[in-house]
A = this chain, B = another copy of it.
């Protein structure tokens, strides 16, 4: 058994996130990248804990190239939720600093939604992880934002980066879910659906 090489399908990953690509590689599943362009806008009537799954499904539907019978398309989206509000990617230094001030000293939720689609099935799920930040000092936030420039990250942080190492006291749930892909859950769902 070479990782999941025995999995009887060809995975297609529709994601621009380098972290998702890295995680899927580490899982030992061979996959091919496909490009999907979609507006990541949130429908106003979707509750915060369902936004990620809805966006993952929207990405899957935007893939119009067609699937071969042995292909499974994986798409995903991750959002950070603080006090029932969705924090997206920050558009500026000030917005990134503002988001980290919001998360400082609090527990927030990270939801990753995943869609799995083939010619035989269509499945989606959401995985939630609770994340607890210590009280961050102003100079820690400024140092992180200026050094790591987290403008491509929901909630303005990467758990695997410096701010996660000095700032995240504890999590409850899957660590890799916070990075952007709930790998254990994905692995289990693939085993269930494909084998």
* Chain A residues with a Cβ under 8 A of chain B: 1, 3, 23, 26-28, 129, 134, 139-140, 143, 159, 162, 165-176, 183-185, 187-188
Q: Which residues of B contact A183 (CB under 8 A)?
A: 165-166
Using CB atoms, name the residue of chain B closest to A188: B134
Q: 11 more A-B contacts (CB under 8 A) besides A3-B143, A167-B184? A: A1-B140, A27-B165, A134-B184, A134-B188, A159-B175, A168-B175, A169-B174, A169-B184, A170-B172, A171-B172, A172-B172
**Are B175's CB and A175's CB within 8 A?**
yes
**Are B170's CB and A170's CB within 8 A?**
no
Using CB atoms, name the residue of chain B closest to A182: B169
| A1 touches which of B139, B187, B188 (Cβ 8 Å) | B139
**Are A28's CB and B174's CB within 8 A?**
no
Q: Once the chains are docked, how many angstroms separate the CA of A3 from the CA of B139?
A: 10
Closest CB in chain B relative to A173 CB, distance in Å: 5
When all copies of this chain in the complex are counted, the total is 2
Q: Once the chains are docked, how many angstroms separate the CA of A185 from the CA of B143?
A: 19
CB-CB under 8 A for A174 and B184, given A1-B139, A139-B1, A162-B27: no
**Are A26's CB and B168's CB within 8 A?**
no
Q: Once the chains are docked, how many angstroms separate the CA of A166 from the CA of B23?
A: 11
Q: Once the chains are docked, how many angstroms separate the CA of A53 from the CA of B162?
A: 26
CB-CB under 8 A for A166 and B27, given A171-B175, A184-B134: yes
Q: Which residues of B contact A129 (CB under 8 A)?
A: 170
Closest CB in chain B relative to A8 CB, distance in Å: 15
Closest CB in chain B relative to A103 CB, distance in Å: 14
Closest CB in chain B relative to A166 CB, distance in Å: 5
Q: Which residues of B contact A184 (CB under 8 A)?
A: 134, 165-169
